[in-house]
Every structure is written in structure tokens, then in C-alpha cells.
Amino acid sequence: MKKNILLITSDQHHFSLMGYNNPKLKTPNLDRLAREGMIFDRAYCPNPTCTPSRASIITGQFPSQHGAWALGTKLPEDAHVVGDDFKAAGYRTAIVGKGHFQPIKQTDEFPSLEARECMDDQEFWKSYKEPFYGFEDYAMNRDHGNGDAGQHYAIWLEQNLPNWQNYFGGNSEFLDAPIWDLPEEFHYNTWITEQSNQRLEDYKEKDDPFFLWISHPDPHGPNVAPERWANMYDADDLDIPSVTEGEHDKNPPHHQMTQEEKPNRQIYQEEGGHDCHGVHSHLNKMKKNRERVATLYGRVSFLDHYIGKTLDKLDELGLTDHTLVVFTTDHGDFFGQHGLAGKGAFHFEDMIKLPFVARLPGVIKPGTRTNAMISLVDLAPTFLDMIGSKIPRSMTGLSQKLVLEGKKDMVRDHIIVENHHQPTTLHLKTYVNDRYKLTVYFNQDFGELFDLQEDPSEINNLWDDTQSQHLKQELMLKYIHAELGKEPMWMPRLATA
């Protein structure tokens, strides 16, 4: 019997917000998945923003290779995607939930199916049936929280909740009262789970192998939830991260700006760019951070509850033993660490390291925990390797099949994280190995160097440390080698000329 692939993702999810990493957080279903499978403690994103990282998941390429180099760009429609390989192998392919492969604005030269006006066009989505980045089937909702609703989710709301628009249009990410009065049965967590489980039932009935991506929009803000989840945790019982006094003194300027009342953001603005995520003052957000974190905990438990319904559906249908389930996210999050909130071009572990769990009974040893490095760019080649399909030469990620099977301790010795957030003013790359992290900036003399063994909280930037200059040069060379090593070779060299 062919193996099925079920990818479940959250959005903007800190690696510590998993019950197996945090005894104060209740995630019984994800903990169950971890007990029955393998935890990767060193999983990373190839870019700490949505579009580039999500495009890497389906292409097996880094953002500098697949073309979706920043938020506000798109993955080219003709890109080779893993869904095409699954379909060639006789698999059904579907995505349910958030796509975010294209921007919320469009031009005549660069049209976007995820532009706001398109997402709000229900008649368009009722009739649109073309393949979407390798997915033959899709039920999508690009939006988060109570900000807005569109695509197929809005169609469903229109059919089931006539006054649904009364519950949307706000942005309560940092408000004192984050309770969302939308009835839970109409929340997108409910809708995504129902849509996903219906597809699982269809695959089972027709005995079709499948690649299904369940893409949850939470816990990305706005930080709102139904009352029972928003009030689930007492803020006074939680450990709230905070800045260490003086920690940004040796960090690049945009780090320091986050701790200023009115920083000058103009130095990062340029033609051909756009607003810089996170490059602003974070001081006001920190004033209400304790309450925000309590709601965030509740939203993760809320998400876990509905993921559990899908895991239960696999059991009910007898699909568990033949389905590789992977849970991860697109990038990390700050909820007080280093005095930061949300996301931005700050490549601390909080931002680039991910929760990651994989389960396949009979193949992955239950209860395994590994320090093997894995990147989201590895997912596509790993999935194809697991089903016995050839990995396209265009994919530059590495198959982690032998790690999953317990036959190798590791297949990669480093991670590369790209972040081309602005054309020139905010363009950085990070190299991570078993102990050290090096971050370099385009056309800048500043940078970051952290010893993750001696300084796991990344408080002491060694970039300008006199005693660390030889180490910095060694890591620079290793970074250059890593960049050379990830160049794609779409065909072999066939002859001398």
C-alpha cells in the first residue's frame, strides 16, 4: 500500500509553544503525535516570513532560487512544485486553509489570486477550478483572526451564517479584550478541520493515496479567540519573556530601534521595497504583553484541539498506519523574547527555529527526539523519497528519510536562512551549525555571531569581540561553502563539452 502524506502546519508559531517543551501549555494532541513519532529539536525555516517559506515547502528550493524572495512577491506560476510529482505518482493533492503564495496586491504585470479584491470575490472562487501550485483541490482562507475572511471560507460563512460580516473587520492583536464573539462552530479552525476530514473520508472511500496540506492560520495575530480559549490561562501563572538590559547595544541598528520610543525607520525604506516588518518600536506592545501571552497560549490549545480531531479521523478511517504525518510551522514568533513581538528581520532562534514532529507507525520509532538539523526546504524531497518517487534535480533541499527511519543521525550539518526583506537596505543571511550562528548583511559591516552552546539565549553578540575574530572568519568561510553547495544543478554534466 502506498504511503500517504499529511502535512499539518500552523502559522508563526514559537518552538516553545508545544506541550512537550512547555509544561504550562496544554497541547495533548500534538504531544500524542510526539510520543508516537519523532521530535526534531533543530528544525528551521529557510526564511522567517510566510510567502518565501511556504513556497520553499512546495518547491524544495530556497527563496533565492524559487523566486518568491519576500513578502509581497509571489511564487512564479510555472515553478516546479511537489504536487506535480505527487500527481505523476498517482496521488490526490489538496490544500485546506492558508496558501499565501501570492501577495495581497496586484498589477497588470504581476496578477495575484490572493489580492484582496480577488479573495473577496466569492463568485470567482465558486467557479475557479484550475490547479493551484500543484494542488488539484483546495479550500482556502488566507486571513487571520477577526481581520477579514475571504475565498472558500467566506463562501461557507455566507451559506451558514448570514450576518457573518458582523464578526470581522477588526484587528485586536494588542487590545485588552481579545475575546472574539464569533461562535466557535463558525471559526476557521472548525471549517478547516471539517473540510480536511471530508477529504480524508473521500480518499478512504476511493482508496486513493494522497498528499494533503492542512494549513492553519493560527497562532499568527490578530490575537483573538472564542471566550473559552481566550480565558483558558491565567496570565499570572505564566513565564513571560522580556528583554535583557543592554542586550541590543552590540546588535545591528534595526534591533536597537525596537527599544526606542520613536525610531527613524526611513533609513530602511527604498524604492522597490515596502514596509519593514518589525522595524519599529516594540515598547508599547510590551506594556500589555502578559495578557497577550495568556491569550496566545489559549489559541495554541485551541488549535491543538482541532488538530486532534483530524488525528482521530485518521484512526477512525484506518489510515494512521499508512500515513506520514508532519506537524510544523512556516516560521517562528516573538512574544517578549529580546523585547520583541511578532516577526521581523531578527534571526534569533525564536524567529527561525520551529516546532517539528513526524510520525509514521512502523517506520519512525515512537518517542524519538533528535538534534538532527532539518529545514522546511527538505520537506518536498523527503516526502518524495518516502513514497519512492524520484527527487527532481531542481530541488536543493535534502531528503531526511534516513533520519526518519533511524538509519542516520543526520544528513545536514548546517542551516541557511535567507531574508531579502528589502531590495538592498534589509538583506541578510544566517548560517547555523551545531554550535554557532553567523548573520551577515548586504553592504554592511555589522553582523551577528552567537555561541549557541555558551549563550543559548543569544544575549552576547560576538561580532566585534576581539577574541572571536578568528572564529568569525572560520564561520564566514563555512557560510561561503554552504552557499556554493546549495546551487541547483537542474541536469547532470553529460560530456566534456
Q: What length does the chain have?
A: 497
Phi, psi of 392 (to 5 degrees): -60, 145
Phi, psi of 227 (to 5 degrees): -55, -45
Each domain of the chain, given as residue ranges in start order, spans: 4-420
- Sequence-distant (≥ 6) Cβ neighbours of residue 96 within 8 angstroms: 138, 139, 140, 192, 195, 196, 199, 212, 213, 214, 215
Is residue 197 a contact partner of residue 189, using CB atoms and an 8 Å limit?
no
DSSP H or E segment with residue 52: helix 50-59
Furthest CA-CA distance within the chain: 70
Distance CA(131)–CA(95), nearest Å, equals 11
Task: Give the number of C-alpha atoms closer than 13 A to the C-alpha of residue 138, restricted to the C-beta side.
Answer: 24
- pLDDT (0 to 100) of residue 273: 78
- pLDDT (0 to 100) of residue 178: 85
- pLDDT (0 to 100) of residue 177: 59
DSSP H or E segment with residue 221: none
| Amino acid at the residue 351 | M
Distance CA(297)–CA(183), nearest Å, equals 20
User: Into which CATH architecture does domain 4-420 fall?
Assistant: 3-Layer(aba) Sandwich (3.40)
Phi, psi of 70 (to 5 degrees): -160, 165
pTM: 0.97
- pLDDT (0 to 100) of residue 176: 47
- pLDDT (0 to 100) of residue 78: 97
- pLDDT (0 to 100) of residue 147: 87
Kindly give the parts of the chain with pLDDT less than 50: 173-176
- pLDDT (0 to 100) of residue 267: 87
**364-408 residue pLDDT tens:** 999 999 999 999 999 999 999 999 999 999 999 999 999 999 999
CB atoms within 10 A of CB 126: 10
Distance CA(321)–CA(37), nearest Å, equals 12
β-bridge mates for residue 373, sequence order: 42
Distance CA(304)–CA(357), nearest Å, equals 13
Considering just the CA atoms, what is the radius of gyration of the chain in Å? 22
Phi, psi of 179 (to 5 degrees): -80, 125
Cα dihedral 373→386→305→145 (10° resolution): 70
Distance of CA 353 to the CA centre of its chain: 10
- Sequence-distant (≥ 6) Cβ neighbours of residue 203 within 8 angstroms: 4, 92, 209, 210, 212, 319
